[in-house]
């Protein structure tokens, strides 16, 4: 479904990605692992059209997205939960959820407020509160709910549980697992390799803008020691 090949990206004169290849298949949960500063967010931003790549190709469901603006990526069915959540602080929870909602790329429109509230009962309780009044964990739930309301064919999460309390993290992992069971395709960035090994099908390890390893969860477990220095665990 997502095909990224030879992706290169720079900030000014500083090149950050040196030819990233990765793919996500229909219904797959795939991770992008690596220590801080290795280029994970840059990869996601280049896929989403938030940063114009220097070279390489991004294709999604047979559609050419390379260098196209972010609204086209969204329309094609890419739903981003950005690093730092970036919810609208001056809108209520409910308004945040409906502000960018749409029926999705194939127009089936399966996600509704009711379904998001069933997934995150806490958001229902707080539906009339301002985004700014939520805890970090609630904001992350809101960011996930908001992305789901666009009915994405592929959900991308940049730092899924960064900075969240252990119980909230567990809740987020549980939600991702239930989404996976429902057939949702997901590309996820996080540092929690242990949780990701349980949830994800395949993994990519990024080191200084290059994919240095890829494999299944079983392979990741088998090669854990060798990979530890790339993962910073
Ligand atoms: P990761 O997500 O793996 O932590 P990033 O993609 O955020 O890594 O960053 C990769 C590199 O690009 C880092 O060296 C970072 O300092 C640099 N970088 C990230 N964003 C910018 C920016 N807006 N301007 C300049 N350099 C940046």
Q: What is the pTM of this model?
A: 0.95
- Residue spans of beta strands (DSSP E) within the chain: 2-11, 14-24, 29-33, 55-60, 63-64, 78-81, 154-158, 185-189, 202-207, 210-216
Per-residue model confidence (pLDDT) at position 107: 61
Ligand 1 atom nearest residue 45's Cα: 6
CA 37 / ligand 1 centre spacing (Å): 5
Per-residue model confidence (pLDDT) at position 102: 85
CA 110 / ligand 1 centre spacing (Å): 35
Output phi, psi for 212, to 5 deg: -105, -10
Q: Which residues contact 200 (CB under 8 A, 6 or more apart)?
A: 29, 30, 31, 188, 217
Parts of the chain with a pLDDT under 70: 104-109, 233
Per-residue model confidence (pLDDT) at position 110: 86
Per-residue model confidence (pLDDT) at position 108: 67
Strand-strand pairing, 14-24 and 2-11? antiparallel
Q: What share of the chain is helix, strand, coil (3-state, %, to 5)?
A: 40, 25, 35
**Ligand 1 within 6 A of CB of 41:** yes
Out of 18, 38, 188, 209, mutate this one to test ligand 1's pocket (max ligand atoms within 8 Å of CB): namely 38
Q: How many CB atoms lie within 10 A of CB 12?
A: 5
Output phi, psi for 74, to 5 deg: -65, -40
CA 44 / ligand 1 centre spacing (Å): 11
**Ligand 1 within 6 A of CB of 232:** no
**Ligand 1 within 6 A of CB of 42:** yes
Output phi, psi for 92, to 5 deg: -75, 170
Out of 33, 41, 50, 160, mutate this one to test ligand 1's pocket (max ligand atoms within 8 Å of CB): namely 41
């Amino acid at each position: 479904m997502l095909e990224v090949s030879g992706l290169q990206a720079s900030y000014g004169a500083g090149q950050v990605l040196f030819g990233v290849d990765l793919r996500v298949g229909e219904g797959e949960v795939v991770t992008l692992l690596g220590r801080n500063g290795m280029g994970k967010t840059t990869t996601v931003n280049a896929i989403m059209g938030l940063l114009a790549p220097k070279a390489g190709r991004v294709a999604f469901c047979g559609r050419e997205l390379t260098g196209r603006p972010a609204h086209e990526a969204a329309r094609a069915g890419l739903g981003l939960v950005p690093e730092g959540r970036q919810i609208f602080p001056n809108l209520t929870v409910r308004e945040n959820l409906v502000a960018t909602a749409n029926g999705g790329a194939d127009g089936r429109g399966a996600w509704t407020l009711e379904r998001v509230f069933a997934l995150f009962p806490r958001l229902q309780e707080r539906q009339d509160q301002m985004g700014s009044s939520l805890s970090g964990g609630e904001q992350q739930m809101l960011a996930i709910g908001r992305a789901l309301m666009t009915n994405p064919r592929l959900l991308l999460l940049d730092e899924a549980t960064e900075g969240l309390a252990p119980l909230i993290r567990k809740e987020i992992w549980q939600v991702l697992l239930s989404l996976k069971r429902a057939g949702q395709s997901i590309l996820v960035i996080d540092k929690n390799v242990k949780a990701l090994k349980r949830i994800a099908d395949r993994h990519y390890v990024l080191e200084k803008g290059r994919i240095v390893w890829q494999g299944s969860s079983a392979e990741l477990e088998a090669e854990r020691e060798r990979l530890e220095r790339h993962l910073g665990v």
